């Protein structure tokens, strides 16, 4: 079985400040890792993913996440946030070799960017 | 628009009733996944279909059932509804492999009164 823990349920941050959202996972096998973002009253959108190769992955809107196998973590960072980054962020994991490709999600971290 | 279409967007119904939620996957995607999002349970995987066949099952209640039709659209049937079934129900689709990630629809908000 796999599980995901997002250590912070809410993160208030001022505009143009950096933010880090923490994600730890548990799995007995190799995994793929994802971050999704959910804006108010919308569905989830894929932000970035780690499948293999470089442990640092980036999104088109300035977010980056680093896969740390020894610490079983996949923290999400952005050096300077905008008001429009206000949303809920979900970390997710799926097993590399498993019937079906279901994602297991963390509980989410709500980011509130203040002016 | 993500390409995954869910209808209806909102649904209000009484306890004991039965409802059907519909999902049309993104063009070319063969897999459909159903998730339930509630404040107390978070995002819970319910069930996956791939090209018409059930592929994986999660925390889906016996009162709930789903199917995927030959045109690849999927329906989630919820029966004998209880207040606790009130939630956002999301459908997602993928081509079939991990590498493509999921594409989510905008969800159906179910309120049971």
Which of A32, A43, A51 is closest, CB to CB, to B105?
Answer: A43
DSSP code per residue over chain A: --EEEES-SEEEEETTS-EEE-EEEE-SS-EEEEEEEE-TTS-EEEEEEE-SS-SEEE-TTS-EEEEETTTTEEEEEESS--GGG-EEEEEEEEESSSSS---EE---EEEEEE-
- Alpha-carbon gap, residue B49 to B72, rounded angstroms: 9
- Alpha-carbon gap, residue A59 to A108, rounded angstroms: 18
Quick check: B100 pLDDT over 70?
no
pLDDT band for position B60 (cuts 50, 70, 90): very high
Res A11: pLDDT: 97
Res A84: pLDDT: 95
Residue A112, chain B, CB below 8 Å: the answer is no
Res A61: pLDDT: 87
Res B24: pLDDT: 98
Res A63: pLDDT: 96
State both tokens at A64: 């980056």
Which has more pLDDT, A94 or B84?
B84
In this prediction, residues B74-80 reach a mean pLDDT of 98
Contact A43 B43 (CB under 8 A): no
Res A30: pLDDT: 82
State both tokens at B76: 């989630």
Quick check: B85 pLDDT over 80?
yes
Res B54: pLDDT: 92
Res A86: pLDDT: 96
* Among the listed residues A9, A5, A10, the one whose alpha carbon sits nearest the alpha carbon of residue A113: A10
Tell me which chain B residues have a C-beta less than 8 angstroms from the C-beta of A43. Answer: 2, 4, 90, 104-107
Pick the residue of A102, A105, A107, A108 with the most B CBs within 10 A to test the interface with B by mutation. A102
Span A42-94, pLDDT tens digits: 899 999 999 888 888 888 889 999 999 899 999 999 999 999 999 999 999 98
pLDDT band for position B19 (cuts 50, 70, 90): very high
């Amino acid at each position: 079985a796999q599980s995901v823990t997002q250590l912070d349920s809410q993160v208030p941050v001022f505009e143009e400040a950096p933010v880090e959202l923490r994600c730890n996972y548990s799995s007995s096998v190799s995994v793929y890792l994802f971050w999704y973002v959910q804006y108010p009253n919308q569905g989830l959108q894929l932000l970035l993913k780690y499948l293999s190769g470089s442990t640092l992955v980036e999104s088109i809107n300035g977010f980056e996440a680093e896969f740390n196998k020894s610490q079983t973590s996949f923290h999400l960072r952005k050096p300077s946030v905008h008001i429009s980054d206000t949303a809920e962020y979900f970390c997710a994991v799926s097993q590399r070799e498993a019937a079906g490709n279901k994602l297991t999600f963390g509980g989410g971290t709500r980011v509130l960017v203040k002016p | 628009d993500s390409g995954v279409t869910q209808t209806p967007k909102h649904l209000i119904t009484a306890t004991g009733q039965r409802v059907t939620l519909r999902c049309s996957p993104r063009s070319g995607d063969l897999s459909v996944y159903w998730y339930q999002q509630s404040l107390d349970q978070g995002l819970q995987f319910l069930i996956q279909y791939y090209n018409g066949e059930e592929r994986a099952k999660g925390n889906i209640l016996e009162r709930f059932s789903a199917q995927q039709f030959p045109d690849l659209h999927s329906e989630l049937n919820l029966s004998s509804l209880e207040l606790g079934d009130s939630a956002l129900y999301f459908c997602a689709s993928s081509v079939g492999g991990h590498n493509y990630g999921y594409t989510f629809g905008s969800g159906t908000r179910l309120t049971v009164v």
